[in-house]
Amino acid sequence: MNSVNMFSPIVKSLLVALLAVSATASAAPKIDPAKGASLFTDGDAARGLPACVSCHGAGGNSTITVNPKLAGQHEAYLYKQLVNFTTADRNQPVMTTYAKMLTDEEKHNIAAWLVTQKPNPGAAKNKDTVELGKKIYRGGIAEKSVPACASCHGATGAGIPVQYPRIAGQHQDYTVAELGLFKAGTRKSLEMAPIAKRMSDEEMKAVADYMAGLK
């Protein structure tokens, strides 16, 4: 038997795989953080797209406590959320409107720029609940089957790219609001929704305040 003919199916399969990888690589967006910075800072008046800075602050450090700080957030997570805003997974009146106006490449560009920005630190404010918040964050609530927040978001709140966001220093008001959305099922998540449903409002506020002081 001719050895070339015997191995030709294998060779063909490898060639097909290599071509597929090559096509995927060439189709990947060319990420440009500088363009992301421009959109974040100036928006695009021609499309009626406002500057992200108006809600999320200079460099992604929001001073409006109901709007999240985005500086230093994981690039892949930010991109994923911008995509989610265009689906039923995270429908939100303001962000859904603007996320749908962005191209896929622009979503990547904004996320790539924000991850390079230095987040301003936050601080816990309620001394009466900080120990409860610390206990929930580090050890969870065993009797309610609530796992430790640290098990996914890390001991310092740094998170894990794509899956779990950086939550250190985040505004208390924003964190409490998002936990409420998870609890109500308005924001979809197979992991956070069941956890939030087992928590009381007081527990949410306590852990949100503790998280705000993480660095």
6 known ligand binder: no
Start-to-end CA span in the chain (Å): 67
CB atoms within 10 A of CB 102: 20
How far is Cα 88 from Cα 93, in angstroms, rounded to an integer? 12
How far is Cα 91 from Cα 71, in angstroms, rounded to an integer? 22
49 backbone dihedrals φ, ψ, rounded to 5°: -95, 115
199 known ligand binder: no
108 known ligand binder: no
How far is Cα 185 from Cα 214, in angstroms, rounded to an integer? 27
153 known ligand binder: yes
The annotated binding site for heme c is made up of 52, 55-56, 95, 149, 152-153, 192
The annotated binding site is made up of 52, 55-56, 95, 149, 152-153, 192
